[in-house]
Amino acid sequence: MTEAEKKIIEMSLTEIDRFCIKHFNQLKVGWICEIASQQCPESIKPGNFRLQIHKNCDTIRQTYTKQNIRLNKLKEDKVAELEQKLTMYDDDELHSLIRR
C-alpha cells in the first residue's frame, strides 16, 4: 500500500473508529459498558459516544456473580473492517494513527 493510500485512510477515520482500533481487543470479546464509557475520548460528547458505540457494537447482557452486566461487543462486520485496517499498518504506524 502506498503512503498516499495510507494517508487517505488515516484522514477518513472518525474518532469512534480510532477508539475502536485503540480498544480493539477489549471490544472484540466484549467490554463492560461502564468502563468503555469512562474511556470516551474528550472530543466526543458522552451522548454522542453512546450513540456511535451502539452503532458499531452489540450490547450483550450477562449475569456474573448474580449481577447483571452489559457488554459492548463489536459487530462482526466492524470486526472484519478493523482487522483489515490493522493488518495494513505496522505497530509504529498504528500508534501514530491512534494518537491523532
d(CA 77, CA 48): 21
Cell numbers for 28: 472484540
pLDDT for the residue 58 = 95
Name the β-bridge partners of 72: 31, 59
pLDDT for the residue 72 = 95
pLDDT tens digits, residue range 42-84?
A: 989 999 999 999 999 999 999 988 899 999 999 999 999 888 8
CATH number, domain 15-99: 1.10.10
- Strand ranges (DSSP E) for 2-88? 31-32, 57-64, 67-74
Cell numbers for 3: 503512503
pLDDT tens digits, residue range 16-33?
A: 988 998 899 999 999 999
Place of cell 490493522: 86
Between 67 and 99, the more confident residue is 67
Cell numbers for 11: 484522514
Between 87 and 69, the more confident residue is 69
